[in-house]
Structure 1
Amino acid sequence: MAMHKRLALAVALVTSIWVQPSHGDDVWAVVAFINHGEREPVVNAPSISLTPEGAQQMLRQGKAFRARYLTDLSDSDYDHIGAARLHNINADMIDNQVLDITSQSDDYVNGGAMAFLQGLYPPSFEAFRDNREEIDMARDYTKSGDNITDFPLNGYQYPNIRTLGMLDPTSTSIQGNLRCSAWESEIRRNLSRDPNLEELYDATLSFYQGLFSTSPMQGTINLEGANLWNAYELYDFVSYEYVHNETVNEGLTNATELLATMNSWATTMERAKNAYINGTADSDDVEEKAKLYSIAGRTLSSRIALQFISNVKRNGDRDKMALMFGSHEPIVAFIAMAGLLDEESVSQGPFSLLPEPGAAMVFELYGEDAQNPEVMPSFDDLMVRFFYRASADADEDFVLYPLWGIDPENGTVPFSTFVQVMQDFGVSASEWCNICGPNPAPWCANSYYYDDERSCKKEMSAATAGGLGAFFALAVVLLGWIFWRLLQRKMNKENQQPANAAPSPSTAAAGGFKGPEKKAGDRDVAVTGNGIHHERVGSWEMKGATTVPAVAAVGVTTKDSTRVTASQRRRSFDDDDDDAISVMGATPVKAHESV
């Protein structure tokens, strides 16, 4: 049975027995995936930088999140944003224990994440003075008068942003399509064989060829690449040049209509790459194709579910806000997987076009225990809702969308249903290796995986285990032979000595490592039984494994035994300073300045 039918059945079974709980808008956790801000076009790779406008976009998006989840803003441009306050979180000072911030390693993505955090937690000169729990850290009693020392730049705050490079298995959760060799091969070989895309290719070829063979775009792009297969790269380039190149801005005729057309074609291609929406047959082949094409959305789905599970396991006290910064592919893939594409949304609305710079998908975990509102309710009373903020503009709203067609009127999904469906859709890091192989990342060769206890382990392949077994067997045989030879030599020497011979006093006194050659003044070498102490370093998977309750403790049934919650998985990477990648040392800037 195909995946979509199994998911439909699971949703039907769970929702059929669910009773509407009474809940408020007390938000316990937020998980968001945010697209990067404006940057230089990808044709400039590998040197791609975040633009000042891109940083401003991310700053504005951070302000919008602050207005919704933390506190009211003095900026009236954000008054229209509905408040949904996060439970028991400091609105003025960053607490890196309750924030989980991850970013792609690209400079323009990581830089945008820093700008976003400036909007979410702007510099606050009075933050320490207003926070009695933290004020002692700022005091200096060796000074007279005002003995409070604030952070530089009027209280700039320092978030812990973890950049996930290719050596980190967690990187697949926010960029599942990157280095996925099977996905790249599929796109190169088979996408051009799609009859609908072939037809669109023929219909648009003259447009692309004409655009790049006439002024003002003439000579900027090799005409061999000016076609539908590069629709995203071409739109990305032309739209950037129209904004930042005076000649293109003045010489491009019908620019608004032209860019809208290019955006539409680019969206068609990116959707075809990241969502297998043409397969309808009930077969394993279709299911495998769907999993491969939507790999970026599936790895993200797994991460989102794990973030919420982590929050629930800790009674809402940790992982209150998880922010992931990346590119458009996971957004495109997830929108299709979530059942948000229909005839209307494909032709109009935010899902009909590419995600705007700074666009955000937001998931909220909320609910309330009427008898004890300060305590997280049972998971039966927890709900999840999905919002899409289509751009970083100040006047953009957080728009609610129903996931998988569940409760289209209110857009709410029971927590248990949400986790079940997301994990059925989801792809873990080890599964990613199998889907994207062979060996799409260096760590795949070692088969790293996470178990339910959230400790990182390492499996050996059969070949590796066999080789090690043979090596140890040979070592045992060799050591046995050496021991036998030494024993034989000792026995031979004893047999050669006369039975009535006795060692002379001088010989006995001169025993030790030199034997009869030892002089009276020579000292023996003393070897302790402790040997040399070697500290085991450099192995993140062996550090501080912590046992935590199984997922079943919160009433969540996982798809397999390798499911894991996100914060515990994070611990295996960032509990030790030498294992974390941080931007703590980056040059701070003021919130109101261009970055």
Structure 2
Amino acid sequence: MRYSIQSGLLLAASLSSVTEAERVLGAYIFARHGDRTPKVFGSTTLTDLGYREVFDTGSYYHNRYISANSSKQIEGISADVVNPKQISATAPAENVLQNSALGFLQGVYPPVGKVASQTLANGSSVEAPLGGYQLILLSEATTSKDAEDSTWLQGSSGCQKATVSSNNYFTSDMYTKLLSSTKDFYKSLEPMLSGAFASSDMTFKNAYSIFDYLNVGLIHNSTSQFTHRSDLTDEVYHQLISLAGSHEYNLAYNASDKARAVDGAVLAGEIMSALNDTISTKGKSKLNIGFGSYGTIFSLFGLLQMPAASVDFTGIPDYASSMVFELVTNASGTDFPTDKSDISVRFLFHNGTITGGSEPTAYAMYDQPSELLSWNDFVTKTTEIAVLNDDEWCTLCGNTDGKCASSNSTGSTSSSASTSSTSSSGMSRAVAGVIGAMVTLAVILGLQALFFLVGGFRIAKRNKNSPEMSSAAAVEANKA
């Protein structure tokens, strides 16, 4: 009898674990590009190693979220052949990031061979090229297209206040102290940096560019190519990456100035919007993937208060690093939860390529005690840090040109319209002026036509090569 009671308890516990098992409803993955050429020479390109890194990381997420054999499979997602309505992918229009995204997506949904073949009306079968290669639409992200190729984080963000804010770091006590205290350290690197940096540039001001150059050399150059390789000891390398991390993190984020982390704020808005789309469509949209540089990642880390969870979040993320926002529920059944209170968000991060048995680690966001954050709390806290639309971006950045010009001109137009005087007939001066101009133009054209008709003149097309063409006209013709 005792055995039967224990068996019953075990069975009840087993059933409870099944009904209360966590289900993954959707996810947003944001990844850094793979290994690339150094920034100092410009025009960076993804290397074969970088291609392999992002492909391997993408393959891990296939096994986690796509594979039918995974306990973390996103509910209802197509396990073999990609369903374009279920997945969205974005990357800035930049060489390294676009190519990294394509390599990553190849891992997420690899070629499927004859599984995706089609039978035509005549009975013949057609298989996609490259062993059933799957095409996934890659949209252009809203972040600055030159972010990865720039040697300074805010150099091309387009956000005026972000540029000013980052410039303020170069006058801060923290920066000036490190600039002074590390002067001898960077000077000692001259044998390794000669030819790539001027002696005056071998300072903490170029901490990331110097680290990046030596890091690429360490990965790709043999001893014969990197003659001072032995000088790059573990101790020197650790100091280089630590200083570079401090330099770049403080350029990308400042707790008292949200504008400095504008790229992270935009990304936060995109993440929340994408996850909300999964909820509002009851799971029709399932997986969102974004790509970007370490600067955007740093900005978001700061806004999410991730350094409170681990000081490692102030260090430069390695190539092919990735972070994930999982949308999960413990609600029983197989239907999408109808109550948002049953939905939570989990943040995970993995530094570098995910290979072997390694997996992303879960961390608490916003300095909260739990790794899981209820959807409602996530929305409340993320709304405080996120940029959700162009108007918010323009306000945060203080820009009045480009996409911000329309909102500013709208205000000025309505203002001028309200102050415009009207004629006795109720017609505004602006409208009357336009009508008057049109009447005048009609009169001039009529007189001109009469002149040509009566005088026997005609309009002839001039030969471009005519020697009578002025030099200025020739220049304009060549431009065309």
State how far apart, in whole Å, the 1-side matches of 2:361 and 2:244 are.
24
CA shift in 2, pair 1:35/1:83, >3 Å:
farther
1:107 aligns with 2:74: no
Give the number of aligned pairs: 404
2:49 matched to 1:53? yes
Partner of 1:224: 200
Aligned to 2:132: 155
Give the counterpart of 1:31 among 13, 28, 31.
28
Aligned to 1:379: 340
Q: Secondary structure at the match of 1:49?
A: coil
Write the distance in 1 (CA, Å) between the matches of 2:434 and 2:307.
68
1:433 aligns to 2:389 (yes or no): no
- Once residues 423 and 165 of structure 1 are traced to their aligned partners in structure 2, the CA distance between those partners, rounded to angstroms, is 18
Classify the secondary structure of the residue corresponding to 2:354. coil
Inter-CA distance 224–23: structure 2 relative to 1 (3 Å threshold): farther
Letter in structure 1 aligned against 2:297: I
Map 1:359-508; keep pairs closer than 5 Å: 359-370=321-332, 372-395=333-356, 396-408=358-370, 411-428=371-388, 429-439=390-400, 442-447=402-407, 460-466=409-415, 473-474=428-429, 476-477=431-432
Instruction: State the superposition RMSD in angstroms.
Output: 2.9
User: 1:25-52 deviations in whole A, cap 9, x for unaligned?
Assistant: 211110111111111122122x111111
**What is the CA deviation profile of residues 325-380 of structure 1, one whole-angstrom value per residue up to 9, with x for unaligned ones?**
010112212222222214x832xxx425200111111000111432x323334211
- For residues 330 and 361 of structure 1, the distance between their equivalents in structure 2, rounded to whole angstroms, comes to 12
Q: Partner residue of 2:310?
A: 345
**Against the structure 1 CA distance between its residues 118 and 63, is the aligned structure 2 distance closer, same or farther, given a 3 Å change threshold?**
same
Residue from 291, 297, 319 that aligns with 1:357: 319
Question: What residue is the counterpart of 2:478 in the other structure?
Answer: none
Amino acid in the other structure paired with 2:161: A
Deviation at 1:475, TM superposition (A): 5.0
Question: How far is the alpha carbon of 1:431 from its aligned partner?
Answer: 1.7
The structure where helix makes up a greater share of residues is 2
CA distance in 2, matches of 1:414, 1:167: 32
Instruction: Please list, as runs of the form range in 1=range in 2, the aligned pairs for 1:9-28 lying within 5 A after superposition.
Output: 23-28=20-25
Whichever residue aligns with residue 417 of structure 1, its letter is D
Asked if 2 retains the 8 angstrom alpha-carbon contact of 1:274 and 1:332, the reply is: yes
SS at match of 2:196: coil
Q: CA offsets, 1:454-478, max 9 Å, x none?
A: xxxxx74322334567598235435
1:141 aligns with 2:121: yes
Amino acid at match of 1:179: G
**Secondary structure, counterpart of 1:361 in structure 2:** strand
Aligned mates of 2:165, 2:253 — CA distance in 1? 13
Specify the alignment match of 2:114 in structure 1: 126
**1:239 and 2:224 matched:** no
By how many angstroms is 1:186 displaced? 2.7
Aligned partners of 2:89 and 2:139 also within 8 Å: yes
Shift of residue 166 of structure 1?
7.2
User: Alpha-carbon deviations, 1:242-296, whole Å to 9, x = none?
Assistant: 222334545222433322211100100111112224xxxxxxxx4xx2x122222
| CA-to-aligned-CA distance 1:145-178 (integer Å, 9 cap, x gap) | xx2211111101111001236799xxxxxx9972
Deviation at 1:210, TM superposition (A): 2.2
- 1:289-318 CA-to-partner distances (Å, cap 9, x unmatched) read 2x1222222221111111111111111112
Q: 1:65–1:167: structure 2 CA closer, same or farther, 3 Å change rule?
A: closer
Aligned pairs for 1:55-204 (under 5 A) are 55-71=51-67, 83-128=71-116, 138-143=118-123, 147-164=124-141, 178-188=157-167, 190-204=168-182
**1:86 Cα shift?**
0.3
Structure showing greater relative contact order (alpha-carbon pairs closer than 8 Å, 6 or more residues apart):
1
What 5-or-longer segments of structure 2 have no aligned partner?
A: 1-18, 146-152, 422-426, 440-480
CA separation in 2, counterparts of 1:375 and 1:427?
Answer: 28
Q: The residue matched to 1:341 in structure 2 has which SS?
A: helix
Task: Compute the TM-score of the two structures, normalised by the length of structure 1.
Answer: 0.63
How far apart in 2 are the matches of 1:466 and 1:149?
Answer: 63
Match of 2:288 in 1: 322
| CA–CA distance in structure 1, aligned partners of residues 283 and 86 of structure 2 | 9
- Structure 2 contact 91–291 (Cα < 8 Å) conserved: yes
For 2:185 and 2:56, how far apart are their aligned partners in 1?
Answer: 36
Contact 1:28 1:376 in 2 (8 A): no
Specify whether residues 55 and 272 from structure 1 end up closer, same or farther in structure 2 by C-alpha distance, changes over 3 A only. same
Residue number among 35, 38, 41 corresponding to 2:38 in the alignment: 41
CA contact (8 A) 1:368 1:376 kept: no
Distance in 1 separating the partners of 2:385 and 2:330 = 28
Give CA deviations for 1:519-553 in whole Å, capped at 9, x if unaligned. xxxxxxxxxxxxxxxxxxxxxxxxxxxxxxxxxxx
Alignment match, 1:259: 237
Q: Is 1:331 the counterpart of 2:297 in the alignment?
A: yes
In the TM superposition, residue 443 of structure 1 has moved relative to its aligned partner by 1.6
Contact 2:85/2:284 (CA < 8 Å) preserved in 1?
no
Report the 3-state secondary structure (helix = DSSP H, G, I; strand = E; otherwise coil) of the residue aligned with 2:291. strand
- Structure 1 residues 483, 364: closer, same or farther in 2, change over 3 A? closer
Following superposition, the deviation at residue 197 of structure 1 comes to 2.2
Q: Distance in 1 between matches of 2:431 and 2:96?
A: 55
Is the Cα contact below 8 Å between 2:391 and 2:404 reproduced in 1? yes
Deviations 1:120-139 (A, max 9, x none): 1111113226xxxxxxxx11
Structure 1 segment 303-322 matched on structure 2, within 5 A = 303-318=270-285, 320-322=286-288
Indicate how the Cα distance of structure 1 residues 412 and 23 shifts in structure 2: closer, same or farther if over 3 A, else same: farther
Aligned partners of 2:368 and 2:251: how far apart in 1?
Answer: 26
Q: Is the 8 A contact 1:24 1:368 kept in 2?
A: yes
User: Contact 2:162 / 2:261 at 8 angstroms: preserved in 1?
Assistant: no
Q: 3-state DSSP class of the match of 2:27?
A: strand
* Residue type at the aligned position of 1:224: S
